[in-house]
Amino acid sequence: MSSGSNTPVAGKTARIVISVDAMGGDKGPAAVVAGISDSIRRLPDLDIILHGDESVLRPLLGSEPALAARVALRHSAGVVTMEDKPAQVMRHGQDTSMWAAINSVRDGEAAAAVSCGNTGALMAVSMLRLRKLPGINRPAIACLWPSRNPGGFNVMLDVGADVKADPSDLLQYAVMGAAYAANGLSIPRPRVGLLNVGTEDHKGRAGLKEANEILAAQATTGGFTHVGFIEGGDIPGSSVDVIVTDGFTGNVALKTGEGTAKLVTDRLREAFTTGVVAKFAALLAMRSLKRFQHRIDPRRANGGVFLGLKGTVVKSHGGSDATGIAAAIGLAHRLAVTGLTDRIAARLASIEAAGQDSRSGAPGEDAGTGSVSSV
């Protein structure tokens, strides 16, 4: 493959290069290589820069001859473990596969990076090496949530980058989430809802009420439709496309949803395997059960996207198998093709310009009536 350029060459199809950290997942490099193999079969314009221990990865790549022309192996001796503290990785992690994977995006070799590694460390290294987009206060992690919408998913953010979020942060999350939904899910004007304890305007803490007013005032400029407050039951529903919340609430909701999906799957398995009659019923319902399993399979939505950075980073679940890793690489590829980072930057610039116009036209206006001076 080429050295990682994503620029079209005359007479050749443009290549999309994704940088992959092979060493961070619970299932090891073998699962990563299997996921890459699956991705390359599905995506003819995809090339990979693979970072990790060459002595481990070379034999795995050798067993997949189709990978030879489309995977460039880069040796990295160090590994970021799930127990490593982000501050420790920032100080001493320069030789790790995670650090190298992010550097490939920073240096322009790759359009996006994918890692199954330590979330806190990955966010810290990404912020250090890629830097935040202009005007961004707090980057966010966005996830895809299975839903009743036609596309099958909703976007939710933040799901764990930062436990805090003030009203101006929530506006930025709305803008970034809408850009993600537009480019990742092909929704021209996403509907954005603000997660609260109720849908009534008088409910929730003061900061949420202020954020609700700001989102309503900036929806047109931000390229989204403001739905208002939504409740937890709306997260998998069809009334919104993007759910905005702080990282503490979003992470609790995400982990609760994952746990509930696993519980439902386990209970169904138990129900259809206890006794001869149950097993016979399972055979009759096999097609419906497989369809149900596919719809709630968390591997299909694998990949939290770091938004608000000067580069695209996809965090694959630590326990991802080949199917989950392929899904994360596929998501990174799709976002690279659509130029998500540039589109987010453009939307944020529009919000900032609108805020400046508002302040110059109405010097006494405050944030509660539409000014976004902190954006």
The CATH number for 45's domain is 3.40.718.10
Per-chain mean pLDDT for the chain? 85
Is 174 found in the same domain as 118? no
On whether residue 323 sits in a domain, the answer given is yes
If asked whether residues 109 and 217 sit together in one domain, one would say no
Predicted pLDDT of residue 183: 86
Question: Do residues 269 and 151 both lie within one domain?
Answer: yes
Q: Is 322 among the domain residues?
A: yes
**How much is the pLDDT for 256?**
87
Residue 68 covered by a domain: yes
Tell me, yes or no, whether 29 lies in a domain: yes
Q: Are residues 192 and 113 in the same domain?
A: no
- 182 part of a folded domain: yes
pLDDT (0 to 100) of residue 294:
58
Residue reference for tokens 């989950």? 324
Q: Are residues 308 and 210 in the same domain?
A: no
Q: Are residues 197 and 253 in the same domain?
A: yes
Kindly state whether residues 334 and 271 are assigned to the same domain: no
C-beta atoms surrounding 262 within 10 Å: 12
Domain co-membership, 86 together with 123? yes
Number of domains in the chain: 2
Q: What is the pLDDT of residue 240?
A: 96
| Residues of the chain where predicted confidence (pLDDT) is lower than 50 | 1-5, 7-12, 362-375
Q: Which pLDDT does position 317 carry in this prediction?
A: 84
The reply to whether 200 and 80 lie within a common domain is no
Q: Are residues 187 and 329 both part of a single domain?
A: no
**Domain ranges, residue 91:** 1-130+302-338
Query: Quick one: pLDDT at residue 5?
Result: 43
Report if residue 115 sits inside a domain: yes
Residue 38 CA: distances (Å) to CA of 32, 46, 148 = 10, 11, 28
- The tokens describing 30, both together, are 């073998």
Does residue 121 lie within any of the structural domains? yes
User: Which of 267, 296, 325 is the last residue before a domain boundary?
Assistant: 296
Query: Which amino acid, 116?
Result: C
Same domain, 95 and 56: yes
Phi, psi of 200 (to 5 degrees): -70, 145
Q: What is the DSSP letter of 2?
A: -
In sequence order, what are the beta bridge partners of 112? 18, 312
- Give the single-character DSSP code of 312: E
Among 263, 296, 329, the domain-final residue is 296
Tell me whether residue 45 is in a domain: yes
Q: In what order do the strands lie in the sheet with 71-75?
A: 71-75, 46-52, 16-21, 112-115, 312-315, 304-307, 140-146, 153-157, 242-244, 191-195, 225-230
- Write down the pLDDT at residue 357: 64
192 plus 256 within the same structural domain: yes
